[in-house]
Amino acid sequence: MHPLRGAIAIVGAADTAVGIVPGMSATELCVDAALRALGDAGLRKDQVDGLITCNAMAEPCMYHAETIAEYLQIFPRYCVSAATGGGTTFAALHQAASAIMAGLCHTVLITMADSLRSGMSRDQAMKTQSSCGHPQFESPYGPTVPSLYALIARAHMAAYGTTAEQMAEVAVACRAHAALHPGAQMREPISVQDVLASRLIADPLHLLDCSLVSDGGAAVIVTSADRARDFPHAPVYLLGIGEGHSHEHISQAHSLTTSAAREAGERAYAMAGLGPSDMQFAQLYDCFTPTVLVELEDLGFCGVGESGPFVQEGHIRLGGRIPVNTHGGLLSHCHPGNPGSMFALTESVLQLRGAAGARQIQGAKVGLAHAQGGIMSSHATIILGTERN
């Protein structure tokens, strides 16, 4: 058995308000999330000896983790600012687990936030959107992030006959789940026709195929499984974790219809000693609807080329074969940039605590969460459970 399997637990988790939060800066949201998670875990600030954050686009700091530590007035012996785009959350969890196992620290606070909705102008946002391309092979042609993901959508459609209606079903399912979450940014139900009728952003992606722009933050507290029994809530154990990194720029990707989610998932499954059929839910990175289709295939929830019919048949909805993004995901709950997948992590903790309210999956004991950064570039998969073994 892998030494990391079941050795680490999440003992605290919390979200801030999300959506439009004009009264708080990115830094204040990050600190608010941290204090909420500490409260959830019943911890004092001085009981934290590790801190991991990621920088904020709206309020960047040269030494972000140190800035947050200073603001909180904590003095950790392990202090890291992580940066792997949207996959930062689970890569940070991997780092925290490794640091605890190595004896570098005992209790790690992972807190991330941004205020993309209130803290950035439209011009700033567009500059950010257009600055991620390869400086030689992409940026001179002016693509923005949605157009780069549209390449993935078109490739999947050409290879497997995937339709715009099938991609739209991802957005519809996520919105149905968000409607059950009292804190979600967008809760009004939508239909496939609503998605297809929304404004075209980058063919074939419409506005409702694209994730939200949000303010918000979330945080978790991580410690060793042996210490996890001393906290108010039942611990949620890290059973498996894996990463996969295939490219930085989409023009250098070996494939547009598969990704390093495959390798990340295989490594997480191997560590956990479990497989796709054992998962009771999957929180998948849904910055755009076609990413979910690719991830469903790469992570083994359906066959290659089968994800379009799979989602159209309702298998990713609550009550389906593998409920996806039970909080609404980036498409409907919120998406404050790099911290977006933090909400998939806190939602997973709520599901495994049995505390997800109207969207609770009955008897949930094990689930998967996956995050990716860049343009399907850097991937991390985690498997969480209520039992260590």
Does domain 143-207+239-385 bear CATH number 3.40.47.10? yes
Rounded to whole angstroms, the Cα distance separating 354 from 365 reads 9
What's the confidence (pLDDT) of residue 28? 97
What's the confidence (pLDDT) of residue 127? 64
Assess contact for 33 and 220: CB atoms under 8 A: no
Rounded to whole angstroms, the Cα distance separating 75 from 144 reads 40
CATH number of the 8-120+214-230 domain: 3.40.47.10
SS (H, E, C) the chain: CCCCCCCEEEEEEEECCCECCCCCCHHHHHHHHHHHHHHHHCCCHHHCCEEEEECCCCCCCCCHHHHHHHHHCCCCCEEEEECECECHHHHHHHHHHHHHHCCCCCEEEEEEEEECCCCCCHHHHHHHHCCCCCCCCCHHHCCCHHHHHHHHHHHHHHHHCCCHHHHHHHHHHHHHHHCCCCCCCCCCCCCHHHHHHCCEEECCEEHHHECCCCEEEEEEEEEECCCHHHCCCCCEEEEEEEEEECCCCHHHCCCCCCCCHHHHHHHHHHHHCCCHHHCCCEEECCCEHHHHHHHHHHCCCCCCCCHHHHHHCCCCCCCCCCCECCCCHHHHCCCCCHHHHHHHHHHHHHHHHCCCHHHCCCCCCEEEEEEEECCCCEEEEEEEECCCC
Rounded to whole angstroms, the Cα distance separating 352 from 92 reads 20
| Torsion angle of C-alpha atoms 231, 65, 340, 271, degrees rounded to 10 | -60
Rounded to whole angstroms, the Cα distance separating 156 from 294 reads 8
Q: Residue 206: which region, alpha, beta or left (left: phi > 0; alpha: psi -120 to 50)?
A: beta
What's the confidence (pLDDT) of residue 129? 57
Give the rounded distance of the alpha carbon of 133 from its chain centre.
Answer: 22
Q: Residues of the chain with pLDDT > 70: what percent? A: 98
CATH 3.40.47.10 in the chain: give the residue spans.
8-120+214-230, 143-207+239-385
What's the confidence (pLDDT) of residue 125? 65
Rounded to whole angstroms, the Cα distance separating 82 from 358 reads 34
What's the confidence (pLDDT) of residue 130? 56
Rounded to whole angstroms, the Cα distance separating 128 from 77 reads 33
Assess contact for 239 and 383: CB atoms under 8 A: yes
Rounded to whole angstroms, the Cα distance separating 356 from 346 reads 10
Tokens of 329: 């995901």
Rounded to whole angstroms, the Cα distance separating 125 from 335 reads 13
pLDDT by residue for the chain (389 residues), tens digit each?
899 999 999 999 999 999 999 999 999 999 999 999 999 999 999 999 999 999 998 898 999 999 999 999 999 999 999 987 888 889 999 999 999 999 999 999 999 999 999 987 767 666 665 567 778 887 888 788 999 999 999 999 999 999 999 999 999 999 999 999 999 999 999 999 999 999 999 999 999 999 999 999 999 999 999 999 889 999 999 999 999 999 988 999 999 999 999 999 999 999 999 999 999 999 999 999 999 999 999 999 999 999 999 999 999 999 999 999 999 999 999 999 999 999 999 999 999 999 999 999 999 999 999 999 989 999 999 999 999 97
Assess contact for 190 and 175: CB atoms under 8 A: yes
What's the confidence (pLDDT) of residue 327? 98
Closest CA to 265 of 288, 289, 285: 285
The 10 Å CB-count burial string (b at 16+, else e) for 89-118 is bbbbbbbbbebbeeeebbbbbbbbbbbbbb
